[in-house]
Amino acid sequence: MTKYVITGGKPLYGTIDISGAKNAAVAIIPAALLVDGVCRIENIPQISDVTLILNILQDLGAEVRTVNRTTVDIDCSHVRNQPVPHQLARKIRASYYLIGALLSRFGSAQVPPPGGCDLGGRPIDQHIKGFTAMGADVDVRGGYIHATARDGRLKGSQVYLDIVSVGATMNIMLAATLADGLTIIENAAKEPHIVDLANFLNSMGADIMGAGTDVIKVRGVDRLAGGTYSIIPDQIEAGTYMAAVAAAGGQVRIHNIIPKHLECITAKLQEMGVSVVEDGDDLVVSRRGALSRANVKTMPYPGFPTDMQPQIAAVLCLAQGTSVLTEGVWDNRYRYVDEFRRLGAQIQVDGKVAVIEGVSQLTGAPVRACDLRAGAALVIAGLAAHGVTEIDSIYHIERGYEDIVRKLTGVGADIRVVITPDQEEAQANAG
């Protein structure tokens, strides 16, 4: 069993480099399936979700060559249209992008229902609505989602999303890229990774306009050619380290970010008394005095991101006064609250609302990461807490944060990876 052991209470000083965006990478890598030729993708984060999606492509016959730590060449010329293996697809949410990508390229796809963090119900009806509008038959049989274009190739169509969905917006963009004619996606999501996917596809020859607004127009083309593309910096990784400085104190330069993508997080931290100063492609975050309470509601971009909700909760736990946190995207994103309570946090949850009474001090304790962002939030709480916090199930955290231990020790945090034999193994050895 691998744990993080954090001795908290030390302010953070130095610089943290931000990696490429996870939620852009896990869509852009499957998008390489549409490209005729070699795609060079730069600024890929080294995280387990990326390894998984690359493994899925390799299983389908893609050639993946590592150029350097953050760059891969992907050649999908010899990809076969075969069912995506269960054991890989179920470990990752982003496996749903294979439906749009394979449907676009081959006119059919067989993909198991996706996995990912447990945040309550995670339906994909809006993805299916889009594929169906473009002339696909979609059903679930034998543990697979089967999607087949009735005429062998999808047809451009108008799709109004009933709910603003990041995944559905990107999946329909993928499906529409090689479709016949114009697809218009209305009520589209506007997250930075949607713009990044559109920029990637356009740089390979697609015709996509309006990404970043709520109406995206995709004019289908016959083929995409190879090229080179660099993924944007990770908004949520940057926000997580900003929250860590807010909670633990100190001054850290968050290096290589797009300040615009972080405006909502910056504004909220400033409201709480944290100094955030923009300096080119960096933000300098510092906190010396007390934190003030704040209300936070998560919403689709450009609102406050749901993927920062647990991390901002960790900061609010240490703010003076009562804060109200409202989850506006997922049904059940407060599963981490019991773990926070072990550290001395005072949080009451009623449905989608959490009321947080700030405390002057958290105290280290053994805790468990229940999903990716909840795990990151426990790291933040542990950095601020007095004493030792041990976090297990850290594989959740490593799905989305490249080198988190190295990055934090680089700014003075006392965080170590400790490997202990798990109980069963220990008992077997003892026997």
Which residues does the annotation mark as catalytic? 117
Residue with nearest beta carbon to ligand EPZ: 167
Beta pairing, strands 35-42 & 71-75: antiparallel
Measure the CA–CA gap between 23 and 92, rounded to whole angstroms.
Answer: 11
Per-residue DSSP letter, 321: S
Measure the CA–CA gap between 15 and 329, rounded to whole angstroms.
Answer: 32
CB of 420 to ligand EPZ, least distance (A): 27
Q: Which residues pair with 69 in a beta bridge?
A: none
CB of 411 to ligand EPZ, least distance (A): 23
Residue nearer to ligand EPZ on the CB measure, 94 or 242: 94
Lookup: tokens for 342: 């072990």
Residue nearer to ligand EPZ on the CB measure, 32 or 291: 32
Residue nearer to ligand EPZ on the CB measure, 263 or 425: 263
Q: Residue 170: which region, alpha, beta or left (left: phi > 0; alpha: psi -120 to 50)?
A: alpha
CB of 132 to ligand EPZ, least distance (A): 12
Q: Which of 109, 103, 102, 64 is nearest to 83 (CA)?
A: 109
* Residues near ligand EPZ, by CB under 6 A: 23, 26, 93-94, 117, 121-127, 163, 165-168, 189, 306-307, 329-330, 372-373, 400
Q: Which residues pair with 357 in a beta bridge?
A: 322, 346
Residue nearer to ligand EPZ on the CB measure, 213 or 361: 213
Residue nearer to ligand EPZ on the CB measure, 200 or 330: 330
CB of 289 to ligand EPZ, least distance (A): 31
Cβ partners under 8 Å of residue 224, min gap 6: 34, 35, 36, 177, 178, 201, 204, 205, 206
CB of 253 to ligand EPZ, least distance (A): 24
Sequential DSSP letters for 230-250: EPPB-HHHHHHHHHHHHHH-E
Chain centre distance of CA 38: 26
